[in-house]
Amino acid sequence: MTDIFTKPELDRRTLLRRAAAVGLLATPAVGMLSACVGSSDEDTPEQATGTKSADNPLGIDPKAGVEIVIFNGGLGTDYATKVDTPLFNKKWPEAKITYSQAEEISTVVQPRINAGSPPDMINNSGSKLMDFGAIVKAGQAAELTDLFAAPSLDIAGKTVADTLVPGAIEQGSYDGKPFAVNYSYTVFGLWYNAALFKKNNWTPPTTWAEFTALCDKMKAAGVVPFGYAGANASYYMVRAILTSAGKIGSEQVLKDIDNLKEGAWTNDAIKQAAQAWAGIGQKYINKTFLGLRHTEVQLQQNQDKVGFYPCGSWLENEQAKDTPKGFEYAIAAYPSVTAADKLPATAINAAAGEIYFAAAKGKNPQGGKEYLRTMLSKEAALEFTKLTKSLTVVAGASDGQTISPGLTSANDAVTKAGKDIFMGYLFDTWYKKLDDESRAAANDLMFKDYDAAKFCDRMEKASQAVAKDSSVTKFTRS
């Protein structure tokens, strides 16, 4: 070992210079990303098409293959391989489906998009999802107007658009045009263990006073009343704060945030919501949660150490392995903050999620859309719900089915909310940088300074910085 480092022939200053050069290797990662800079519209390959007919409303080439990439995460991939693909092939036996899965979608798909040979249908999900706004702006996603106007695969007399829950298409629209199918339907709220509540004779609160009173009781019983994971899931908390704000001042408050309107974050509704939640952070949260990851806090809830956990309806499936027998997931709508809230206590935030889109510059974009049409059939939607314990945007696809306690509870919450379901906000997917800021701000609010005014001012400043930044592509909603 001795002489490896001290070869007499090797001039030491040369070695140092080389050492410096090695360090420079750390930088060029971005250059690599752009290895395909310059691929533009001219590179679009020849695309497969067929004749449109009543049976083939999207005009696909029945013999052309379709390549799909599915994100392998909380929902698994079985729904694609065991349900959607066989269903597609039942109708189009000659079209070969090329399937692959990925855990890091951007790593796998982004280089292919840049190289001009994207897969035809892409499931853009997970923590490494691609910035979909940028994809739309770059003209890489196929417009889906014809898909939503096409007749549903198995619900007679209705177009695909008619079969979906309200807001489903809006969620995937950019400047009024649809580019994505947000397939799963997620209900957000406070999750708790119904069995634990029954044992202690606790009932889910509807007003803030009831909420804090219950939190006191939980604390007395040795249960941390409320918790979320600050290390990687602070956006659950952002959603809780903004859902409360939405209930106080109606969804318009959230639309203003999405539209980067001046003063959107300093609105009274946001202030009141932040103030109310800061009170919860100050008294009822466990300080160590700031350093924990979502699964760690969720596990503590499974052990009945945490009362309420703010999350979406994927939670039950995500925790399926760790949920002990007798633990019954149930969801409560966020309690009203004031008596003058514009929306009732039963109002909930439910949104379509999980982006699926057809690549505009692939070999077979119509085939990709047809695959999406297959997914949006009632049969595929029901099977998806059975496999993943997630509702879909296909309205009523799983009505009358008993699948799991959490899912039933979520379905009930949707029914109780009736017309008071709001989609929430989109700024987190539109402007990732603002999303990032909101996570840090929520952690500060809940764990550190409990200062609602600071939270609002900080977010207002960040939002206006994005509004003035010409390098960020802007979107609007109404």
Partner 1 sequence: MRHGKYPFIIGFLVVPVALYAVFVVWAYIQAFYLSVYEWSGLGPVENFVGLGNFRKMWDDTTFWQSIKHNVFLLVFLPIITVVLALIFAFLLNVGGGHKGGVIRGVWGSKVYRIIFFFPQLLALAIVAVIFGRVFGPDKSGMINGLLPESWSPWLFLADERYAMGCILVVLVWQAVGFYVVLFSAGMGNIPTEVYEAAAIDGASRVTLFFKITIPLLWNTVQVAWVYLGIAAFDAFALVNIMTVDRGGPDGATSVLSLMIYRNAFEFSQAGYASALGVVLFFLTLTFAWVTLSATRRESVEA
Distance of CA 303 to the CA centre of its chain: 26
CB hemisphere CA count around 460 (13 angstroms): 15
- In the bound complex, what is the minimum distance in angstroms from residue 439's beta carbon to partner 1? 6
- In the bound complex, what is the minimum distance in angstroms from residue 387's beta carbon to partner 1? 30
Which of 471, 392, 402 has its CA nearest to residue 432? Answer: 471
Task: Pick from 263, 291, 324, 418 the residue near partner 1 by CB under 8 A.
Answer: 291
**Cα dihedral: 211, 214, 219, 220 (round 10):** 160
- In the bound complex, what is the minimum distance in angstroms from residue 203's beta carbon to partner 1? 29
Are the C-beta atoms of 407 and 391 separated by less than 8 Å?
Answer: yes
Query: Per-residue x/- mask for partner 1, residues 416 to 455, rule CB under 8 A?
Result: ----------------xx--x--xx--xx--xx-------
**Distance (Å, whole) CA 111 – CA 113:** 5
Q: Of 30-38, 45-53, 191-199, 330-338, which segment contacts partner 1 by CB under 8 A? A: 30-38
Residue 38 or 157 having the CB closest to partner 1: 38
The pairing of strands 97-102 and 66-71 is: parallel
Tell me the two tokens of residue 296: 């760690």
Task: Pick from 9, 14, 22, 46 the residue near partner 1 by CB under 8 A.
Answer: 22
Q: Which helix (H) or strand (E) holds 406?
A: helix 405-417
Buried b vs exposed e over 261-277: b needs ≥16 C-beta within 10 Å? Answer: beebbebebbbbbbbbb
- In the bound complex, what is the minimum distance in angstroms from residue 257's beta carbon to partner 1? 18
Residue 158 or 433 having the CB closest to partner 1: 433
Which of 326, 348, 354 has its CA nearest to residue 411? Answer: 348
Distance of CA 263 to the CA centre of its chain: 26
Is 25 one of the binding residues for partner 1 (CB under 8 A)? yes
Is 463 one of the binding residues for partner 1 (CB under 8 A)? no
**Distance (Å, whole) CA 53 – CA 326:** 53
Q: Of 195-203, 310-318, 333-341, 465-473, which segment contacts partner 1 by CB under 8 A? A: 465-473
Burial class (CB in 10 A: 0-12, 13-18, 19+), 68: buried
Task: Pick from 28, 157, 222, 326 the residue near partner 1 by CB under 8 A.
Answer: 28
- In the bound complex, what is the minimum distance in angstroms from residue 427's beta carbon to partner 1? 13
Is 9 one of the binding residues for partner 1 (CB under 8 A)? no
Is 110 one of the binding residues for partner 1 (CB under 8 A)? yes
Within 194-251, residue ranges assigned H as helices are 194-200, 208-220, 234-249
- In the bound complex, what is the minimum distance in angstroms from residue 395's beta carbon to partner 1? 33
Task: Pick from 14, 53, 402, 471 the residue near partner 1 by CB under 8 A.
Answer: 471
**Distance (Å, whole) CA 209 – CA 225:** 14
Are the C-beta atoms of 337 and 273 separated by less than 8 Å?
Answer: yes
Is 34 one of the binding residues for partner 1 (CB under 8 A)? yes
Q: Of 4-12, 54-62, 162-170, 310-318, which segment contacts partner 1 by CB under 8 A? A: 4-12
Q: Of 150-158, 161-169, 281-289, 337-345, which segment contacts partner 1 by CB under 8 A? A: 281-289
Task: Find the binding residues for partner 1 in span 229-248 (CB under 8 A).
Answer: 230-232, 234
Burial class (CB in 10 A: 0-12, 13-18, 19+), 257: buried
Residue 5 or 54 having the CB closest to partner 1: 5
**Distance (Å, whole) CA 359 – CA 221:** 54
Q: Which helix (H) or strand (E) holds 464?
A: helix 452-468
Residues 6+ apart with CB under 8 A from 201: none
- In the bound complex, what is the minimum distance in angstroms from residue 289's beta carbon to partner 1? 8
- In the bound complex, what is the minimum distance in angstroms from residue 214's beta carbon to partner 1? 24
Is 38 one of the binding residues for partner 1 (CB under 8 A)? yes
In degrees, rounded to 5, the angle at the alpha carbon of residue 233 between the alpha carbons of residues 231 and 234 is 85
Task: Pick from 72, 85, 114, 336 the residue near partner 1 by CB under 8 A.
Answer: 114
Which of 66, 26, 17 has its CA nearest to residue 369? Answer: 66
Is 389 one of the binding residues for partner 1 (CB under 8 A)? no
Is 220 one of the binding residues for partner 1 (CB under 8 A)? no
Residue 137 or 386 having the CB closest to partner 1: 137
Task: Pick from 93, 139, 324, 418 the residue near partner 1 by CB under 8 A.
Answer: 139
Q: Judged by CB under 8 A, how many residues of this single chain contact partner 1?
A: 70
Is 288 one of the binding residues for partner 1 (CB under 8 A)? yes
The pairing of strands 177-178 and 173-174 is: antiparallel
Is 290 one of the binding residues for partner 1 (CB under 8 A)? yes
**Distance (Å, whole) CA 103 – CA 128:** 8
**Distance (Å, whole) CA 237 – CA 462:** 18
Is 19 one of the binding residues for partner 1 (CB under 8 A)? yes
Q: Of 6-14, 157-165, 175-183, 252-260, which segment contacts partner 1 by CB under 8 A? A: 6-14
Name the site residues for partner 1 (rule: CB under 8 A).
1-6, 12-13, 15-17, 19-20, 22-35, 37-40, 106, 110, 113-114, 128, 130-131, 133-135, 137-140, 230-232, 234, 286-288, 290-292, 296, 432-433, 436, 439-440, 443-444, 447-448, 469-473
